[in-house]
Each structure stands twice: as C-alpha cells, then as structure tokens.
Structure 1
Amino acid sequence: MTSRTAPAPTAWPAEGPLLLGVRHHGPGSARAVRAALDAAGPKALLIEGPPEGDALLPLAADEGMVPPVALLAHAVDDPGRAAFWPLAEFSPEWVAIRWALAHDVPVRFIDLPAAHSLAAATDPGWGEGEDEADGGEGALRIDPIAVLADAAGYDDPERWWEDVIEHRGTTAPQDGADPGGPFAPFTVLAEAMAALRETYGHGGHARDLVREAHMRIQLRAARKEFGDEVAVVCGAWHVPALAVRSTATADRALLKGLPKVRTEMTWVPWTHRRLARHSGYGAGIDSPGWYAHLFSAPDRPVERWMTKVAGLLRDEDRMVSSAHVIEAVRLAATLAAMRARPLAGLGETTDAIRAVMCDGSDVPLGLVHDKLITGDVLGEVPDTAPAVPLQRDLTRLQRSLRLKPELLERELELDLRKDTDAARSRLLHRLRLLGVGWGAPEAGRGSTGTFRETWRLRWEPELYVKVAEAGVWGTTVLSAATARAEAQAVSATALADVTSLAERCLLAELPEALPVVMKALADRAALDADVGHLAQALPALARSLRYGDVRATDTAALGDVAAGLAERICVGLPPACTGLDADGAAEMRGHLDGVHTAIGLLPRAEELSGRWADVLRKLALRDTVPGVIRGRAVRLLLDDGRLAEDEAARLMGLALSPGTPPADAAAWIEGFVGGASGGGMLLVHDERLLGLVDAWLTSVPASAFTDVLPLLRRTFSAYEPGVRRTLGELVRRGPAAGGRPARGEAGVPGFGAGLDEERADAVLPVLRLILEGEHV
C-alpha cells in the first residue's frame, strides 16, 4: 500500500474533535467515514476498540491481511477467557484504520482495555457481564435504532437504517455528490443520539459509563498531543458522552478499582457467518454478504446483485436467463417505489428473486440466502501476526500436511497405509484430545477396515481460543496432547474413561503417554468389581489393539490388561445377569454384544472364545436370567456355530411354551431376533424358527397381547422393509405340514427351495477380493 500525506483541509469542520458516530458493520457508515476523513484530513485518528491492539494496527496494511478478521484477546493465565472484536471490509472501524495507515496518520484504540473487560466478565462486583461490544447478547435494553425508526414511522428498524444511511449515495456513488456534505449524516445522527441519551441515560448498561470515561481520557491525551484536529470513530450511541463536558478527575474516579488480568492479543481470521451471529461489535447483522456487496459495488448495486444471484442459480443447473435478471431488477424497483423506498433494499430484491428466478419457491431462495446474503467468506491473517507457540506449530503442521483450515464443511477420506494420511490422522486425533474439534470422525461409506478413516472437517474462528487454551499443556501439538493425556489418566476415576483414553492415545500415537495411561488402566481395572463397568470397558480396549496393529504400535501390555478383563467378565457375568429389571436387562444385553465382539479381537481369542461360549450357555439355560439376555445368548451361540439349529429351535420352543408369561416370551424373541442384528433374515431362511414364532404369537391371549405389542413392534420394526415384506408373505401363505409356513411351488421371489451351489460359487472370487483388500 502506498503511503501519502493526509490532505490539508481548508477549515477544520468542527469546534474541537470530529466525532464520527457509526453503526458497527454498516457499509453506509463505512462510506461516510471514508468521505469525512478525506474531507477533514485529521492529524490523528481514535477508534473504539481495545488499546492492547494498538501494536497490531500496522498489520492491517499487510497484503496478507484479508477481512473479515478479528482482534482476539485472552487472559494469559486463563486462555479460555477471551473476547473478539470482528471487523469486515465494510466495517467503519476497518475503513478508518486503513485510511490512517495509508495517509501516515497516527491511529489508536481508545475503548476500555481488554485487561479490564475480561476481568469484569467473571467479577460480579462490576458491570452486568454483557459482551464487551455493543449489540451482543448483553445488548442495550433499548435499541436506539428501533426507537428512531419508530419515531420516523417505520415498523422495521433495518429498513429505516437502509433508507436513511445504507442507500445514501448508492444511486450515484461515482460522482461522490452528497447534498448534505460529508459530515451531514454524522451531525444528524449525533443529534438523534443526544436526544435518546437525554431520555434514556445509559440505556440500561452501566458499563457504558465506565467505557466512555476511558474514551474521554484518551481523547484528552490526543488533543493535548495533536490539538483539536483529532477524529474519533465510535458507535453513534457514545457520541453524546464524548461531547459532554466532564473533568479528568471525575472520569478517573469511574475507572478506579477496576479488576484487571494479564492479556495477550492477536489478529485471527473471521467469517461472514460469524458476523451473522450475535457476538462482538454489534455483529449479529443478518446479511453480511449483502452489506459487503453494497459497500463494494461501484455502481448499479441492484443490477449487479441480481447478476450474482443468476450466476449462483445457473451453477446449480437452474434455468435463469438474462431476461430473468432484467425482469427481477424491474420488479425490485417497482416494489421499492410502491413501498416509498429510495432504492430497492434486501427485502425488495429477495421478493423479486423469489418471484422471478425461483418460481415462488423458498427452496432455491434458501441457497441464495446461504451462499450470497450470508456468504462463505473466510478472512486471512499474515504469518507475522503474533500467536501462541502451539498455534504456530499447528499452522506449520497444517501446511506440511496440506490441510488448510476451511469454513465450509468437507469430508476427508484417509488411507492409513499412506504416510501423509497417517500423519493427518495423528494430527486430528491429537487435536481432539486437546479439545480442539476441527475434525469429527465418521463411519466411512466404503471399507470397514481399520486402515481407513473418514473425517468431517470444519474450521470455526472459536477454535483459535481453544488452541490458545490448550497452549497451557505444551508448545507443540505432540507435547501438549501427551501432557493432556497423562493428566487425564491420573485424574480419571471411571474405568471406561481410562479405556477410552487409551484408545485415543493409540489413535493419536502418543507413545510417551501410554505408560502413564496403562498404569492408570491397570489400577482402575484391579479395583473395579462392577461387571457392567468391565464389560463397558473391554470393547474400547479391543478396538485399541486393532488400531495398534494398523499403526505398528506395541500393545502387548494393553493386550494383557484386556485379557484379564475378559477373564473377570467370564467369571462375574452370570451372577450379574440375574434379578435385573427391564432397563437393566436391556443395558446388559448391549454389554453382551460388545464383549462378544471384543473377545474375538483379543490376542488369546481362541482360548477366551471357548470360555465365553460356556458363559453364553449358562445364560441361555438359566431361568433367573431375563428373557432378552437368554434369547441373545442363544443367538450368539447359533451365529458362531457353537449351537446346532435343532438345539436353537428346542430352546426357542421352551421359551415360547404356554407356561412362559407372554412378556417374558416377547423379551426372549427380542433378544434372539430383535434389532438390526440380522434376525429378520434368520427367520426368512429358517422356516422352523419362523413357525415357532408364528405359532406362539397366534396363541397369546387377547388380555396379554396389548402388553407385549410394544415390545414386538420394537423388535420387528427394525427390520428392513424388504425383510418385513418377505416375512409377511411367508406368514400369509400359512403353515404347512410339520408346522412350518408353506412355500408355493414357485417359492418366494428371490429364494429357492434349496441351495444353488453354482450361483453360490460365483460369489467367491468377489468375496476373496474384498477380504484380501481388508487385510492389506
């Protein structure tokens, strides 16, 4: 950026400092500020903002600084205590900063220091704890814009502001003509705010009085240094307070005794979506993309906006022609005239787009709102901006692994056999352990092998705070994740928490943390006698062993602990399954499935599987065990080939015999064929089992049927529609000899009378390829 000297005005336009009251993030205010500064040429510029940011202001002129950006302040000893001051290209403060840097004019922030505002956020003795900047969650109890709009006869404050400020000069911005002069809007707005302050005082925010006292002190210091030719850019609400005559002694008295914390500050990228949320500097504007367009359009803003919308809809394969654009512009202008507006605003353009380009539908209009009215803009900050060491290490890793932080959510498929993908996986898992939720793992659509991972990534500006907060654990991602894991292992009290931590340590490859985690795991496992807790912990250990194999990690100690847990579960599970209520039985059934899967993954799987099968047989035959667990035990034995089909049918017959209460029988059925465990296909292929279920169901007394119906509905509703349809067809055909549902000679579509070995053999080559790919 080329610097030049500020133009010397023929006459200073104010008696004393030039107070430019603005609405934060208002493009009309931003244009007016630029015009006023060009006309006045102040010797110094003061801006509402935290003074700790003064040293960072020169970075605003860096070519690598692309708004929207935000000043981030956080407490040194408590990085989670933080605040943002976001700025967009159409923010008056940003325009003023860039103007001052371009003209070599000294520029400073004059608001209450962040050291006080961050301390006040947790100090109940001062202020109300609202957001530091206007318009956040702790917004003024009166909305000055709404009051002025109501006085002007408008029912919509945004529409009034657009008409009076945002559309000012947009009809002919090239000639720069403004009938009221460059200072007129500020004069009028200051008078309006003075009337409001006269009526409402501080408007319900006592903290504003303290902030304004600090601003006046800084203004006096600037006038002493530069004279009266000082310009101030601040929220219009504060202008009357800065113009009022007060003494330095009175202002210092308001600031006396304020709480204070050590703070650090930097620039961070921001987004239009965050501007559309209610946080900081009156953010919470509903249409940052529209405001950015109004600020940057050199002329004919409505025509240019309609052209943008047409381009977006065409990219989505919607039929939008030039004629649509012309007609939409005409309709927007007509609506503005009917509504007595000087220029078509967002409401008129949106109505025209809906009617002309979207055929009256709100569905494509939602895309326009998301992509253009709000927008997917993510700012950039140069590398020279200060940052905590952990953030610098993370930035280095992001670049080396080609994982650029992006605002838009995207899916990332990783193949852990590749070095780069494995390193990406380690980074994402380490960040999750540190509480930096950049990525969330998801179930992949393709292979279920352990060498594949699927992540959903999305970078939010708040993650910079999370990184700063995690910086207390170390200066690099690896050292911080290691220290955090060790601390969590020492403080964890539940066995499941430690097993989950061990799993995450293996995924993140934290070899130095594993000894601490393993010791904690062994200690908790030895002390925990609750079989439910042991059963809940075992699956995570089994998964960890699989992950260790893929990542070539030594998991011998983990395997010993897991085998010990499995032994204890086999001993304690049968007694733990007696005397359970319905909720306890359902929970234990889930543990049963988890342990059954986990044992097959342990190093001593063959030996442990035999013991586990004995446990399942005990559960299947013990009458004191709830039916849902007995049925599930029989099903698991059958699936593993440890129970003959005839024996499974016999046990089902006993469970569904007339002497069994209907509720217990229904619970047994749920355990045997319920849920998404493939029970429906089992009934389709084994007509004998289906006949037993059908015979029992038809024999349930009418008085008991209502009680078992919810359980049965839950059991069969989980089946795929095709499975339910086939079962219904089999049952509709009725029982044949031997009590089995009969098949017609043609059979049920898709099922033959016997096994077609030739067709079955044709599947083997494809199955072999799949299995070989899984174990590469």
Structure 2
Amino acid sequence: MTIVIPDLRVRVFGIRHHGPGSARSVRQGLEEFSPDVVLIEGPSDADPLVMLASESMEPPIALLAYATGEPSKAAFWPFAVFSPEWQALQWAAKNGVQARFCDLPAFNVLADQGIRTVREGDPLSELAAAAGFDDTERWWDSVIESSSGADSFDAITEAMEALRETVPIDEETAHREAYMRQVLRKTLKDGAERVAVVCGAWHAPALVGALGPAAPDARILKGMSKVKTSLTWVPWTHSRLASASGYGAGITSPGWYHHLFTANDKTITRWLTKVARVLRDEDLPISSAHVIEAVRLADTLAALRSRPLAGLSEVTEATRSVMCDGNDVLLDLITRRLVVGEALGTVPEETPTVPLEADLRARSKTLRLKQQAGAKNLDLDLRRDIDVERSQFLHRLGILEIDWGTPADSEVRSTGTFRETWALQWKPEFSVSVIEASLWGTTVAAAAASRVVSKINEPDITLASLIGLLESSLLANLPAALSAVLESVKTVAALDHDVSHLMAALPALTRTLRYGDVRGTDVTALIDVADSLLIRICTGLAVAVTGLDDPSAEEFRDHLDKVHSAVMVRDDRDASARWLQAMAGVIDRDDVNGLLVGRMVRLLRDSGSITETAAAQRLSRALSVGSAPTAKAGWVDGFLGGGGLVLVHDRALLTLIDTWVRQLREQDFIDTLPLLRRTFGAFEAGERRAIGQAVRGGRRVETTVETDARRGRAAMAVVAEILGARV
C-alpha cells in the first residue's frame, strides 16, 4: 500500500457541482484553512474575468468561451448561487485573496469541439448504488446536502479514490488533471504558502498528496490543439442547470437547491409556503392549515426514514398528498415553477462583449424591455411611438434568429388592427446567437439589414421567401434592405413561370399592402408588383388547374383560398373582377379536378359573381349520373369545405346532397364515407347541429327517460341537508 504524504500547504475541496451542502462546506473550509490563493475548476484563460465576479453580478450566470470568428463553436461553464465554485470566488473577493481558474484553457477545450456545456458526467452513481439508493440525487441529498460540514471532504476524496480504482480514466480527464497539477505546481513555486483547490470530487484524488515531477504531465499536454478564443460572462437560468436540459452535470432540482442554500432557518416551512403561494396564484383554496399539515407530514416521513431533515422526496410527497390531493398535474406545476424554477442571472454592463450585444442591451434599456427567463406576454399599441419601436426591434431580432420575442398569435402579421402581441422569453443560448449575428453588423438595425441582403443572394431562393423577406423588412423598418429586396422580387417574379409559386407569394404581399399604413410604412412601391403577380396568376390559372390529381388539387385549393381572400380584401374593383373572371373561365371544363371546380363555384357564389340558383344547378349536375361517387364527393368537399353554414340557409342545396347520399349504393356509400366525414367533420359544432335538425325537418327529437321517484326523493333529501333547507 502506497502511503500518501499530504502537502500541508495544499487543501483540496472535492465538491459536487451545484450542491448547496458542498457550497456551505467550502465556505466553512476556506474560513478554517485561510488560504492566500484559491484555485477553482474552470478555464484558466478566464482569469482576467475573475475580477468581474463582483456583487453586481447575480447568478445564475455562466462563463462563455467561443472561437473568435466562429462563434457557433462555444462552451459554457455555469454557476449558481449554490455552486461551490461561485462561493469560493465570492469568499476570495470578500477576503482580498487571489482567485484563479486551474482547468484546461478554453482554447484547448474548443479546438476540436462544437457547442457544449463543460462539466464531466456524474461518477457518483456507483457510490449511490453501493449505499442502496437507486437515485444519485437522493443519495447525495441525504448524505451531503442535508448534513454538510468541512470534515466531509476527506471522506469524499477517499471514496473517490476507491472508485477511481475500478473506473478507467479517459483521455480528456487525464489532460485536465495534468493541467491542474501544473497550475498547482506553478502556484506553489510562485510563493503561495496556503493553496485551496476547489474542484469536482472526481478530480480530488489526482491533486492530493505529493505532486511528483512535472515532466510526465508535460508529456501528456504536449501537442494539444488550440484555437483563438474569446471569453465573457453571460446570464444563465435554473432550467438550464437542470439535467432535463441535457447539461452533463445537471441537477434535477436547481430551485430546491437554491432554497436550501438561501433559507437560513425553517427551510421546510418556508418552502411549503412558497408552494402554497404558487397554488393560490392558480385560484386554488390553499390555507395555512395545508402548510402546517404538509410540514408535519414531511417531518414525519423524514423520521420514519431515519433522515436528519426532510429532503426533496419527503417534501414532494407531502405536497402531493396534502396540497395537491394526489393530482400529478398540480405537482408538475410545482416542479416547473419551484423545484426547477426559471431564475435568470445578470451580469454588469462592463462585462466584455461584442458591439452588437452592447447595442442590444442599450436598445432594450431604452425600450424598457427586460430580459427574463419566464415567458411574458407583451401587448403593443402601434399608435404609440414606443410600441412601434418595440415592434420593429423585435422583428429585427427575429431576422437575426434571436427569438427573444415571438408573435403570441401566428397570424399577428395579418391582423389589421393597431394591436400586436408578443411572447417574450430570454434564453441563455441567445448569447451565442448574438455573437453569431455580430458578423452582420455592430448594431441590431444594421445587422438585420445586412442579413436580409445576404439572404437575397442565397441560391434557389423562392419568390415566396423573397416576399417574406420583403414583409419582414417592412415590419422591421429596414429601408436600406427594402429597396434591394424589392428589386429582387421584381426579377424573380418575372422569371418564375410556376403559377403555384406566384399564388404562394401574393397573400403576404397583399397583407403588407393593406396593413402597412398601420405602422406608418410607405408601401406604394409594392402596388405594381402585386398587380403584376395577379395578372400572371389569372393568365396562367387555366393551365395550372389542368389534370391535377387529388393530392395536388388539395394543395392547390389552399392557394385558391388564400389568393381569393387576398384579392377581395384589397378593395380594388379591377383586381377583383380580373380574378373572378379567371375562375369563371375554368369551372365548366371537364379536365379540372372536381375538388377545384367545387371550390371555385363556392367562391364565385359567395362573391356574387354567380347566383345561388346557378350554383345549385352546378351542384345538381355534379351529383348526377356519369361520375364516380368519390369524384362527386370531391366536388362536394370543394364546395362545402371550410364551412357548412350555406347548407343551413339554403335548403335546396341541403336537399340535393341529402338525396344523393340516400341514393348511394352500399359499396359506393362505403367508398365515399371517409371523404364526406372529413368534409362535414370540419364544420363547427353548431353548424352540424343545425344541419342535422334541418335534415329531420326542423323537428327536435325528444327522448324519454324513466324516473325513479324513490331514489330522487333520497337524493333531494341529502341536498337539502347539505344546504340546510327544509323539504
């Protein structure tokens, strides 16, 4: 057996990342050991950022390292209030002690890797299994987090040393530990008398005792790849610390751990009070009695399980039984709101960043838009200047694929009101998105305009995509990009001979024409483009609808509906007449799919271009002998699809369809039923009910139910007793 002689100048604190018990123990251990240098697991090239870990920085936060010029290659080192590493940084700052990071530099970590969140996996599962726990979180919570102390570090290191004898050390771990030893050697050589090392418990055995010669570690590190790297601090969230997010060292309950670390007394009572507050916010009748009984149950469960204090499992079971009445849906709400939580950290303005992020912060502050982790709806009144600017700002971020705000309604762009609703939620990964977008410009407006222009030149861009860019440029108020997009739209539209492409592009363009003035945007330059598209659509419609099979006809029907709606809302008589005439020219042809003929007849009828009588005659001819039943059903689907109110008011049409269905032969009915069921199933419930009553001749079908007077009297007596009434 090898006897390890400890170096009394070095104290190694083997911790679990993001453990409140470990964090308390580290602070206690540092107070007792009183080092003059604290080495902390983290990228050593981030040392210049240590001084920024000040009181103005509020966790959860993360160190972000990204390859300079290639920001998609990035890595994060997260910290929460209850992270032992963060507490070590705070202790060092408070006591005027030098703090440094001692892990592999980020320029090595990123050399051959993409985006990652740096922490090793959890090696503690085997120890938990050996102790009879099937859940590592619960084992650590029981052994460490609920009963912490500085004396536990030696025992943890000893356990890790035994575990490492059975688990092989991978190459990445060997590189990291060799670098940590090199940093520790240099720190001692530079004259440090007492060095504290705060690192993952897994690495602790590699740093205790005599370090040995430096040559073997130098050989391990020789030849490692490097890449030019930039580093900064960025806000983080509790949900991103959770293991469900995919974070390698994630924990299942960051919100609970935050509470354990910050609640100095009455931990369980304070937690269950928070639970009660969340449930009351959902209008549930939770009283103080619920809290008292839940606390008693949690403490009782802890005693039965021989635990010194109630842990998360006991608190969760008490919450489910007392406050949620066994309802797992409510328990899931508590898990999301409290156990995981959505706290978002902050970093000081002097934190180094790219110019684009600085502009984003400044504009957010001016527009009074606060970055927060929880989702929040923002209602904008576009008659107010500040709300117009907010809308333009959020649209610009959307162009840059920084989706801080997303339209709460998918049809927000098509509404002709002065109201716009956005769902705001800031996510930590947006920090990388901002860096990636910085290559387009130094301000949000300039970057968005450059991004739009770059998309114009992408190969195989479609006319519909260009119209989308045109609409986005208008909504974001990017005049520099608008002219370039407009010229590209004219060019592509002139060269595109596919009518379906033209039809896909027209609705968005018309939407912009109709509602551009809501945002004070000049859209007169688009009128000629819209007129040109419509002329070419009307000219090519006859050819485009020829010989389409059923799937293609269904897709084309969607184009018909959207173009018709777009044309009719323009309030342009010439455009409307041109479009209606184009449809009227193809409804009598035999080579057009019945689904499309039925749809065009319905559109012409609703617009008054053909009379109700003429539409009924065409439906009658379509249902007459000569066509397959499925083809007739397709005609009916085209005519009625999207709304059956016409059958409620036009009894002649209803009689035609009812008679046709009743006369179908058995096999024809079986073949036709799926399509008819889809057509009528899409109607509103009220429409279906009214059609059913009309088919029955307007008579309601009354049903009789036998009653049991004896049982009724018994039920009424119980109700009367509850209400305190006499019967």
TM-score (norm 1): 0.86
Q: Greater shift after overlay, 185-194 or 64-73?
A: 64-73
Residue 268 in structure 1 maps to residue 261 in structure 2: no
Alignment of 1:308-387 (within 5 A): 308-387=274-353
Name the SS of the counterpart of 1:264 in structure 2: strand
Residue 726 in structure 1 maps to residue 687 in structure 2: no
Partner residue, 2:653: 689
Contact 1:48 1:234 (8 Å CA) reproduced: yes
Residue 449 in structure 1 maps to residue 422 in structure 2: no
Of the three residues 377, 380, 401, the one matched with 1:414 is: 380
Partner residue, 1:507: 475
Partner residue, 1:252: 218
What letter matches 1:525 in structure 2?
Answer: A
Alignment of 1:570-649 (within 5 A): 570-601=538-569, 605-649=572-616
Q: Greater shift after overlay, 515-524 or 471-480?
A: 515-524
Residue 201 in structure 1 maps to residue 183 in structure 2: no
Deviation for aligned residue 1:313: 3.1
**Structure 2 vs 1, CA of residues 306 and 356 (structure 1 numbering), >3 Å: closer, same or farther?**
same
Contact 2:377 2:408 (8 Å CA) reproduced: no
Contact 2:239 2:245 (8 Å CA) reproduced: no
Alignment of 1:180-191 (within 5 A): 182=150, 184-191=151-158
Deviation for aligned residue 1:492: 4.8
Partner residue, 2:32: 39
**Structure 2 vs 1, CA of residues 71 and 549 (structure 1 numbering), >3 Å: closer, same or farther?**
same
Deviation for aligned residue 1:341: 2.1
What letter matches 1:596 in structure 2?
Answer: H
Contact 1:490 1:520 (8 Å CA) reproduced: no
**What CA distance in whole angstroms lies between the structure 2 residues aligned with 1:642 and 1:278?**
58
Residue 96 in structure 1 maps to residue 62 in structure 2: no
**Structure 2 vs 1, CA of residues 67 and 674 (structure 1 numbering), >3 Å: closer, same or farther?**
same
Name the SS of the counterpart of 1:70 in structure 2: strand
**What CA distance in whole angstroms lies between the structure 2 residues aligned with 1:607 and 1:589?**
23
**What CA distance in whole angstroms lies between the structure 2 residues aligned with 1:624 and 1:29?**
77
Residue 563 in structure 1 maps to residue 531 in structure 2: yes
Partner residue, 1:759: none
Alignment of 1:51-450 (within 5 A): 51-62=44-55, 64-121=56-113, 131-135=117-121, 143-169=122-148, 182=150, 184-202=151-169, 205-243=170-208, 245-277=211-243, 282-443=248-409, 448-450=415-417
Alignment of 1:426-505 (within 5 A): 426-443=392-409, 448-493=415-460, 494-505=462-473
What letter matches 1:570 in structure 2?
Answer: C
Name the SS of the counterpart of 2:378 in structure 1: strand
What letter matches 2:549 in structure 1?
Answer: D
Post-superposition CA distance 1:331-363 (Å, at most 9, x none): 222212222222211111111122222223223
Deviation for aligned residue 1:302: 2.2
**Structure 2 vs 1, CA of residues 302 and 548 (structure 1 numbering), >3 Å: closer, same or farther?**
closer
**What CA distance in whole angstroms lies between the structure 1 residues aligned with 2:30 and 2:39?**
12
Deviation for aligned residue 1:168: 1.1
% same residue: 52
Partner residue, 2:491: 523
Deviation for aligned residue 1:379: 1.3
Contact 2:74 2:116 (8 Å CA) reproduced: no
Name the SS of the counterpart of 1:18 in structure 2: strand
Deviation for aligned residue 1:547: 3.7
**Structure 2 vs 1, CA of residues 289 and 131 (structure 1 numbering), >3 Å: closer, same or farther?**
closer
Post-superposition CA distance 1:554-609 (Å, at most 9, x none): 33332212211111111111111111111100011111112212223558x32222
Of the three residues 498, 505, 510, the one matched with 1:542 is: 510
**Structure 2 vs 1, CA of residues 721 and 206 (structure 1 numbering), >3 Å: closer, same or farther?**
same
**What CA distance in whole angstroms lies between the structure 1 residues aligned with 2:426 and 2:192?**
46
**What CA distance in whole angstroms lies between the structure 2 residues aligned with 1:496 and 1:683?**
36
**Structure 2 vs 1, CA of residues 327 and 551 (structure 1 numbering), >3 Å: closer, same or farther?**
closer
Of the three residues 636, 643, 658, the one matched with 2:625 is: 658
Name the SS of the counterpart of 1:621 in structure 2: coil
Partner residue, 1:769: none
Contact 2:244 2:252 (8 Å CA) reproduced: no
Name the SS of the counterpart of 1:512 in structure 2: helix
Partner residue, 2:678: 714
Name the SS of the counterpart of 1:580 in structure 2: coil
What letter matches 2:576 in structure 1?
Answer: S
Name the SS of the counterpart of 2:53 in structure 1: helix
**What CA distance in whole angstroms lies between the structure 1 residues aligned with 2:6 and 2:260?**
28
Contact 1:25 1:282 (8 Å CA) reproduced: no
Deviation for aligned residue 1:43: 0.9
Deviation for aligned residue 1:121: 0.5
**What CA distance in whole angstroms lies between the structure 1 residues aligned with 2:329 and 2:522?**
53
**What CA distance in whole angstroms lies between the structure 1 residues aligned with 2:449 and 2:554?**
37
**What CA distance in whole angstroms lies between the structure 2 residues aligned with 1:607 and 1:13?**
93
Q: Greater shift after overlay, 364-373 or 444-453?
A: 444-453
**What CA distance in whole angstroms lies between the structure 2 residues aligned with 1:444 and 1:415?**
18
**Structure 2 vs 1, CA of residues 608 and 317 (structure 1 numbering), >3 Å: closer, same or farther?**
closer
Structure 1 residues not aligned, in runs of 5+: 1-11, 123-128, 136-142, 170-177, 734-742, 748-776
What letter matches 1:560 in structure 2?
Answer: D
What letter matches 2:272 in structure 1?
Answer: M
**Structure 2 vs 1, CA of residues 599 and 309 (structure 1 numbering), >3 Å: closer, same or farther?**
closer
What letter matches 1:113 in structure 2?
Answer: P
Name the SS of the counterpart of 1:274 in structure 2: helix
Name the SS of the counterpart of 1:81 in structure 2: strand
Deviation for aligned residue 1:705: 1.2
Post-superposition CA distance 1:277-326 (Å, at most 9, x none): 45698542111111111112223322332333233334444333443333
**What CA distance in whole angstroms lies between the structure 2 residues aligned with 1:445 and 1:582?**
28
What letter matches 1:361 in structure 2?
Answer: N
**What CA distance in whole angstroms lies between the structure 1 residues aligned with 2:479 and 2:12?**
60
**What CA distance in whole angstroms lies between the structure 1 residues aligned with 2:289 and 2:474?**
60
**Structure 2 vs 1, CA of residues 673 and 410 (structure 1 numbering), >3 Å: closer, same or farther?**
same
Name the SS of the counterpart of 1:491 in structure 2: coil
Name the SS of the counterpart of 2:521 in structure 1: coil
Q: Greater shift after overlay, 323-332 or 156-165?
A: 323-332
Name the SS of the counterpart of 2:497 in structure 1: coil
**What CA distance in whole angstroms lies between the structure 1 residues aligned with 2:522 and 2:25?**
66
CA RMSD of aligned residues (A): 2.2
What letter matches 1:134 in structure 2?
Answer: E
Post-superposition CA distance 1:104-152 (Å, at most 9, x none): 1110011111112112205xxxxxx9753223xxxxxxx4211112222
**What CA distance in whole angstroms lies between the structure 1 residues aligned with 2:623 and 2:281?**
61
**What CA distance in whole angstroms lies between the structure 1 residues aligned with 2:334 and 2:247?**
26
